């Protein structure tokens, strides 16, 4: 991806305890995005959330074992993100987990490997 180019940001909101064949779902998503040749992925762990079930997830001291929210962000050109969406659909189907998937247009300002 080139600086000053348009790209798409895919966000996948899931729970930390969501598993795919005993492997954390966020790890599977990042591995599959890498295998698909997507430009980059990051996993963010949240402190608190709720979603369609209205069930709160929190990182309070009393809730150390709780299912914290996780967001996987993946960035690449729109066509590659769209081609990856069926993989996400299949993973959600196989894990039977809940979640939210969003896409938005972004502008790449800088993209380069570290030294």
In a domain, 52, yes or no: yes
pLDDT of residue 52 exceeding 90 = no
For residues 10 and 91, is the Cβ–Cβ distance under 8 A? Answer: no
Two tokens at 9?
A: 């940001």
- Evaluate if pTM is beyond 0.95: no
Number of domains forming the structure of the chain: 1
Q: What is the DSSP letter of 63?
A: G
- Average pLDDT (85-89) is 98
Of 115, 63, 97, 82, the C-alpha closest to 8 is 82
For residue 13, is it within any domain? Answer: yes
Q: Are 7 and 107 in contact (CB under 8 A)?
A: yes
* 114 part of a folded domain: no
Q: Is residue 93 part of a domain?
A: yes
Q: pLDDT-derived band of residue 40, with 50, 70 and 90 as boundaries?
A: very high
49 domain residue, yes or no: yes
In a domain, 113, yes or no: no
36 pLDDT exceeds 90? yes
In this predicted model, what pLDDT tens digit does every residue of 4-32 receive, in sequence order? 789 999 999 999 999 999 999 999 999 99
Domain that holds residue 82: 5-108
Which CATH number characterizes residue 45's domain?
A: 3.30.70.120
- Identify the pLDDT of residue 25: 98
For residue 115, tell me if it sits in a domain. Answer: no
By CB neighbour count within 10 A (0-12 exposed, 13-18 middle, 19+ buried), where does 19 fall?
Answer: middle
């Amino acid at each position: 991806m080139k600086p000053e180019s348009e790209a798409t940001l895919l966000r996948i909101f899931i729970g930390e305890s969501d598993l795919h064949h005993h492997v954390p779902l966020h790890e599977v998503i990042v591995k599959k995005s890498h295998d698909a040749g997507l430009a980059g992925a990051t996993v963010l762990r949240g402190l608190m959330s709720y979603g369609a079930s209205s069930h709160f997830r929190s990182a309070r001291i009393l809730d150390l074992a709780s299912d914290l929210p996780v967001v996987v962000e993946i960035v690449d050109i729109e066509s590659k993100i769209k081609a990856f969406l069926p993989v996400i659909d299949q993973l959600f189907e196989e894990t039977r987990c809940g979640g939210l998937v969003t896409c938005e247009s972004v502008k790449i300002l800088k993209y380069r490997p570290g030294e």
